[in-house]
Structure 1
């Protein structure tokens, strides 16, 4: 099983989602990666605030490298989780067919189909990163339980 987490820049939310899910599953059975729909930070490490909040929860994401979502990700991944509706729409626009589109889901739909957007903490204060961590962590608990069956 291959799971891809996607946000806009691949420096805040999706690196956290990658690290959180990896911490909850056997990575020998499941491959987890992250990407961004925008190419603003290709080759960079995650935002220092994401690294910090992950570290506070015992997760090291400092070695991740930001990359852009590409069409071939539809071939490489079984499930593609978008952090918000905007990125969901950007991914769906690249889908070549229904099979591609059916792989794309909103991450927080795992918790609630109503309040299902992970807010971008990039312009927020430090506590925005903790709030985002908690949202993603809850969704990843559900995903991990399903993947480990």
Structure 2
């Protein structure tokens, strides 16, 4: 089974959306998807209500997810670790123990040649339209990643 981890700052906006979208696109017999945050602000919390709403509007249920913080053991557990922005990338790479750990870490939008800014915008201080924009960016990129994983 291939295991994929989506990572953002607090694990309540971007990575729960990426987690839900990617899990919806892949066969759960072959893939396991989870999410985490680099910070401990929201451990145990549900995703942001706006993330839940936007996902549900697209037929994806994410309200069962609970925020957790990335731990070094995640390098052992996951095959692919996708981070939402360069700050997350720096934080996760600083925890890597060796080149094997570092090779698992990918800037999420590097997979998407259609988007020039490789940082998924953080919608936390925005409105529902910002969450919808993030959903669309993440959905398009998950299509690309899912297609490459299944090839």
- What TM-score results when the alignment is normalised by the length of structure 2? 0.96
Report the Cα distance in structure 1 between the residues aligned to 2:23 and 2:148, rounded to whole angstroms. 14
4+ runs of 1 displaced by more than 3 Å? Answer: none
Report the Cα distance in structure 1 between the residues aligned to 2:70 and 2:94, rounded to whole angstroms. 12
Paired position in structure 1 for 2:142: 140
Paired position in structure 2 for 1:63: 64
Paired position in structure 2 for 1:13: 14
Deviations 1:32-58 (A, max 9, x none): 000000010001100000000000000
1:127: how far off?
Answer: 0.5
Report the Cα distance in structure 2 between the residues aligned to 1:88 and 1:71, rounded to whole angstroms. 14
1:76: how far off?
Answer: 0.3
Instruction: Return the match for 2:132 from 130, 133, 143.
Output: 130
Where in structure 2 are there 5+ consecutive unaligned residues?
none
- What TM-score results when the alignment is normalised by the length of structure 1? 0.97
Equivalent pairs counted in the alignment come to 149
Where in structure 1 are there 5+ consecutive unaligned residues?
none
1:126: how far off?
Answer: 1.2
1:125: how far off?
Answer: 1.4
Paired position in structure 1 for 2:122: 120
